[in-house]
Chains A and B, each alone.
Chain A
Amino acid sequence: AQTVTQSQPEMSVQEAETVTLSCTYDTSENNYYLFWYKQPPSRQMILVIRQEAYKQQNATENRFSVNFQKAAKSFSLKISDSQLGDTAMYFCAFMKHVGDDKIIFGKGTRLHILP
């Protein structure tokens, strides 16, 4: 069974700094998908960024980028120029096959951006 591990339960950084959230996963699959989701306080969870395992290039979405290390089964999220609005729970997630398979989440990292 696939597992997703987020080793940092909570983190705090100053506004404008760069922060990296860690995620490791375990799978025997070769093709799969990885996600980072953001859950702001009392608000809906939304997708931040998505990576397809067969793509070697790391995904980037504005200030958010990932460091995908397939051999190491590592998928970290880097937030550059952090903003107060980045304060949220961040969940790393894994999915084997698009559309048919369940999406498995890690336990989350609570990120505080300090003014």
Chain B
Amino acid sequence: KAGVTQTPRYLIKTRGQQVTLSCSPISGHRSVSWYQQTPGQGLQFLFEYFSETQRNKGNFPGRFSGRQFSNSRSEMNVSTLELGDSALYLCASRTSVHFGGNTGELFFGEGSRLTVL
């Protein structure tokens, strides 16, 4: 079974631009979560999507948005990029509570490393 796939792996943008990151979850996983990882703040929760609906949201400004498609693939978008948005963006998928054997375990992708200049 293929793991969580994130694209692109690396990207460089300049301030004021926008960026879209993509995540394909493990087949059968309907929940996709996004995290921002920085050296000073660790992993900060951005949002979680389940069945195309945002189920949970972290404390990030409105410049950070996301969506999920009917095939469970998810995208996140950051508009008007700032230097402080430079980070590793991690996507993780997990099974639904409605599936037997759900342990709450997150399965992570390798991340998309964004550098804002």
Contact = CB atoms under 8 A, between A and B. Distances in A.
B104 A91 contact: no
Interface residues of B, number: 30
Contacts of A95: 104
Interface in A24-74: 33, 35, 37, 43-47, 50
Given A44-B110, A98-B97, A100-B55, A105 B42 contact: yes
A6 B102 CA distance: 26
Main secondary structure of the interface of A (DSSP, over half): loop
Contact of B102 (A43, A45, A99, A105): A99
A100 to B, nearest CB: 6
B3 A102 contact: no
For the complex of A and B, the 9 pairs showing the least CB-CB separation, nearest first, are: A99-B97, A107-B42, A105-B43, A102-B56, A45-B108, A98-B104, A108-B42, A47-B105, A44-B108
